Amino acid sequence: MSLQKELLNIERSDVKESLVSFKNFSIGKTVIMVLLYIYTIIQLYPLIWLLLFSLKDNNEIFGGNVLGLPHNWLWSNYSTALTSGKVGIYFLNSLLITSVTIVFSSILISMAAFAIIRMKWKLSKVVLNVFLLGMMVPLHATLLPLFIVLQKMNLLDTRLALILPYTVFAIPMGILVSTGLLQSIPRELEEAACLDGCSIYKVFYYIILPLMRPALSTIAIFTYLHSWNELMFANTFINSDEIKTLTVGIMSLAGEFTTNWGPIGAGLVIATLPTLLVYFILSDQVQKSFISGAVKG
């Protein structure tokens, strides 16, 4: 797809574009820049306000100093949120569940995609389409049946109650992202490996898996964002504070500290920090993942 090729050039053309166009009229250019900066404020200001009030006490938040920098930088909001607000526990739970989900789904997806695209068997097309149809299924439709299945398996209120559904819901998108890449690998690779007497498992592990790295990073990004941010399953399948994830945990934190905004703000910032960190390190990769997900879907 030419679109995909173009995406690889986005950065390069960003440099070029700033030199080439809009050189003709500068008033229009200024207006456009002002509008773009105003929109930047609209997108970012609520988040900056959050960061500021997470460091203030109620006096400042509720009247004294609503908009400005904190007079006293109240870092204790963060320790309150982490300890008595239990955000520390929720954070570790989210981290654990998200990491295990990423590992599980990457393994399952790469193996299945390899066999579907690279190996020869009659039903491969059918199985591929079954997986891809999964993209159409909304989470809500499976909520109650999953609840009952997990209840019957005695998995409710355990971490597996989230890891299993999160892993499975990552499969359709993951297979979709992998197919294009796997199709582009030359067939000669397996033929040569076969000639050398290599086993099919070694072909997968030593040859195909390393080549799938770009697809796997897209899968990891999607799976991270989905599991880290998911609310409905987490809210329904988990009850105990000890295994709650951040999304549900934040809800109970907000319920407990209703009038004490500082620690709530701190909790929200802690929940968001890893995502922002990942995004600012990998922002191009994250954006490309979203584009390739949409283009293929």
Candidates 92, 48, 91; CA nearest to 271 is 91
CB 80 within 8 A of CB 264: no
**Cα pseudo-dihedral 32, 36, 37, 41, rounded to 10:** 150
The distance of Cα 135 from the centroid of its chain, to the nearest Å, equals 16
Place of tokens 């329904």: 236
Site for other proteins in 215-244 (CB under 8 A): 225, 228-229, 231-232, 235-236
Measured distance CA(237)–CA(285) in Å, rounded: 32
At 96, list the tokens.
């654990």
Residue 115 interacts with other proteins (CB under 8 A)?
Answer: yes
State the nearest-atom distance from the C-beta of 220 to other proteins, in Å. 14
At 67, list the tokens.
């908009």
**Which C-beta is closer to other proteins: that of 3 or that of 184?**
3
**Which C-beta is closer to other proteins: that of 36 or that of 210?**
36
Site for other proteins in 49-108 (CB under 8 A): 49-50, 53, 61-63, 66, 108
State the nearest-atom distance from the C-beta of 73 to other proteins, in Å. 19
Site for other proteins in 190-219 (CB under 8 A): 190-191, 194-197, 200-201, 204
Measured distance CA(3)–CA(14) in Å, rounded: 16
Site for other proteins in 263-292 (CB under 8 A): 264-265, 268, 271-272, 275-276, 279, 283, 286-287, 290-291
Residue 262 interacts with other proteins (CB under 8 A)?
Answer: no
Q: Which stretch binds other proteins (CB under 8 A): 72-80, 95-103, 115-123, 209-217?
A: 115-123
